[in-house]
Amino acid sequence: MTTPFDLGPEQRELAQWIREVAASRLLPVVGRAEPGRVDRDLLKTMGELGLFRRLFPGAAEAVPGRATSATDLCLLRESLAMVSTEAETALALQGLGTYPVLLSGSDEQVQRWVPAVAAGDAVAAFALSEPGAGSDAGALQLRAEPDGTGWRLSGEKTWISNAPEADFYTVFARTTPDAGARGVSAFVVPGDRPGLSGEHLDMLSPHAIGRLAFDGVPVRAGELLGELDRGFAVAMKTLDLFRPSVGAFAVGMAQAALDAAVAHAGERQAFGGPLKDMQSVGHTLAEMSTRIEAARLLVYRAAAAYDAGAERVAATSAMAKLFATETAQFVVDAAIQVHGARALQRGHLLEHLYREVRAPRIYEGASEVQRSIIARELYRD
């Protein structure tokens, strides 16, 4: 018997299957690529397992607008994060780069790129952030200047997923000066376009993140994604879907940290008994578990609201991302405290999670931005 707050039997089976194949098929592949570079072997294996087909329903038929549910996206990300943050991140980056095409692209754009990503053969990237425009996405300065047959892109992007190795980029550029978010357009730009260059960025956790330079990069009229000057809506449509799933990623990491702490506290002998019998440790584990469960409920409530087409889901999604990412930071830190010095050693699961857990409090809207969204909704009426 399930309650309205529980996952159904099919969803639990899916989550279990994802964890099993992540452990048996993906973990042996992880680490073969150079740190901070796109792991194409991992992507291909994920494609063969059908993980990207779950991310892009209808990909084999190249059907425009066919998105996975937010709930299934959360299941994918939480389950992968519990086993391999590398595989989870690979899935998330592919999703971010491809969903603008799937949700807003023409039939031709969808047919060209989405099936290849679903098969693990193409690498996608979401190119929104700039040196002077991170959380304030309406302040974009990358210029798209008409050239008679299309546009020329000039400027810079930074903190870009899978850059500079992606096969295509969803690029957001300014087509109308001084118009804020209303003057931004989206383009699908192949990675081998002349004038496009980039470099890798050395991050706290070695993800495939980089900087891009656009030196008069030509884009054709058929590479406009959606409508002219409506690119900000394209970006927000994608981020609205993905924001609760960032919380799911955080919940997955937190659960992995809690599981490690529970196992360690039950095995570690100290002061004449197992560590778990010390009240301070037991209470810490209880606090970790309670916060994780609360975060999970917020995440799946936000996903369910999105899937149901509920109005004004912005605050619900913001609460889910805010609470889940802040919870994950607390849980991973507490798990390290339970373990002691051994968890600080390079290669330990918790050392790895400590580096991984920091970024989600910033990307796709920092915690401060989420609080502003929630506060704004309080006064909307």
Catalytic residues: 364
C-alpha 168: how far from chain center: 18
CB–CB of 260/350 below 8 Å?
Answer: yes
Phi, psi dihedrals of residue 173, rounded to the nearest 5°: -135, 160
DSSP secondary structure, 128-163, as one string: --BTTBSS-GGG---EEEE-SSEEEEEEEEEEEETT
Length of the chain (residues): 381
C-alpha 144: how far from chain center: 27
Closest CA to 374 of 318, 325, 324: 318
C-alpha 309: how far from chain center: 21
Which pair of structure tokens corresponds to residue 148? 């008679």
Beta bridge partners of 155: 214
Instruction: Give dist(CA 119, CA 100) in Å, integer.
Output: 18
